[in-house]
Amino acid sequence: MVYDVKVQGNKKMKASFVKKLAKVKPGHVLDSMKLEEDIAKLKRLPGVSHAYYQVFYSHDDLYNVFYNIEENFTIIPSINFWTVNDQDLAYKLGIYDFNFLGRNIAFGGFYQNNGFDSYGVNFRAPYLFSNKWGLSVNHQNWTSQEPLFFNGGTAQYKYSNTSFETLALYEWNFKNNFQLGVNYFKETYDYLEGLTAPEVPQFLKLNKWMVKFVYQYDDLDYFYQYVDGFKSTLFAQYVTSENDFQKNFLIGWNDFLYFDRVGAKGNWANRLRFGVSSNDDSPFAPFSVDNNLNIRGVGNIIDRGTAALVLNTEYRYTLIEKGWFVMQGNAFVDAGTWRNPGGDFNDFWDDENFRVYPGIGLRFIHKNIFNAIFRIDYGYGITQDASRGIVFGIGQYF
Query: Residue 36: is its pLDDT beyond 80?
Result: yes
Beta-carbon contacts of 369 under 8 Å, excluding residues fewer than 6 positions away, are 72, 73, 74, 76
Q: How sure is the predictor about 160, in pLDDT bands with cuts at 50, 70 and 90?
A: very high
Q: What is the distance in angstroms between the CA of the first residue and the CA of the last residue of the chain?
A: 41
Query: Residue 88: is its pLDDT beyond 80?
Result: no
Contact 262, 292 (CB under 8 A): no
Instruction: Compute the average pLDDT of residues 189-216.
Output: 92
Distance, in Å, from the CA atom of 135 to the CA atom of 157, rounded to the nearest integer, reads 34
Query: How confident is the model at residue 87, as a pLDDT?
Result: 61
**How long a stretch of residues is the chain?**
398
Q: How many CB atoms lie within 10 A of CB 319?
A: 12
Contact 139, 121 (CB under 8 A): yes
pLDDT tens profile 223-264: 999 999 999 999 999 999 877 667 888 999 999 999 999 999
Was domain 2-71 assigned CATH 3.40.50.10860? no
Report domain extents, the chain: 2-71, 75-394
| CATH class of the structural domain 75-394 | mainly beta
Q: Calculate the CA 50 to chain-centre distance.
A: 21
Query: Residue 65: is its pLDDT beyond 90?
Result: yes
Query: How confident is the model at residue 152, as a pLDDT?
Result: 81
Give, as one character, the DSSP assignment of residue 325: E
Instruction: Compute the average pLDDT of residues 182-194.
Output: 95
Q: Pick the residue with more confidence: 171 or 85? A: 171
Q: For Cα atoms 253, 256, 258, give the angle at the middle one, nearest 5 degrees.
A: 165
- Give the residue from 92, 206, 184 showing the smallest Cα distance to 140: 184
- Beta bridge partners, 136, equal 124, 167
Distance, in Å, from the CA atom of 61 to the CA atom of 278, rounded to the nearest integer, reads 62
Q: Go through 170-204 and write b for each residue having 16 or more CB atoms within 10 A of its CB, e for each that does not.
A: bbeebbebebebebebebebebeeebeeeebeeeb
Answer whether 2-71 and 75-394 agree in fold: no
- Strand pairing report for 303-305 and 287-289: antiparallel
Whole-number mean pLDDT of the chain? 93
Query: Residue 323: is its pLDDT beyond 70?
Result: yes
Query: How confident is the model at residue 244, as a pLDDT?
Result: 67
Query: How confident is the model at residue 301, as a pLDDT?
Result: 82
Helix, strand, or coil (residue 321): strand
Instruction: Compute the average pLDDT of residues 30-40.
Output: 96
Helix, strand, or coil (residue 284): coil
Contact 186, 204 (CB under 8 A): no
Beta-carbon contacts of 72 under 8 Å, excluding residues fewer than 6 positions away, are 46, 47, 48, 49, 98, 99, 368, 369, 370
Query: Residue 393: is its pLDDT beyond 70?
Result: yes
Round the CA-based radius of gyration of the chain to a whole number and report it. Answer: 23
- Give the residue from 41, 68, 86, 47 showing the smallest Cα distance to 371: 47
Q: Compute φ and ψ for 116, nearest 5 degrees.
A: -130, 155
Query: Residue 9: is its pLDDT beyond 70?
Result: yes
Instruction: Tell me the range of 285-299, 306-320, 342-356 where mean pLDDT is highest.
Output: 306-320
Please indicate, yes or no, whether the overall pTM of this predicted structure exceeds 0.95: no
Q: Pick the residue with more confidence: 82 or 203? A: 203
> Of 68-77, 191-200, 240-249, which range is least confident?
240-249
Query: How confident is the model at residue 302, as a pLDDT?
Result: 84
Report in angstroms the alpha-carbon separations of 64 from 15, 26, 53, 250, 287. Answer: 15, 9, 10, 52, 52
Query: Residue 83: is its pLDDT beyond 70?
Result: no
Distance, in Å, from the CA atom of 108 to the CA atom of 94, rounded to the nearest integer, reads 8
pLDDT tens profile 265-297: 999 999 999 999 999 888 888 899 888 899 999
Query: Residue 82: is its pLDDT beyond 90?
Result: no
Distance, in Å, from the CA atom of 386 to the CA atom of 150, rounded to the nearest integer, reads 20
pLDDT more than 90, % of the chain: 81
pLDDT tens profile 110-156: 999 988 999 999 999 999 999 999 999 999 999 998 888 888 889 99
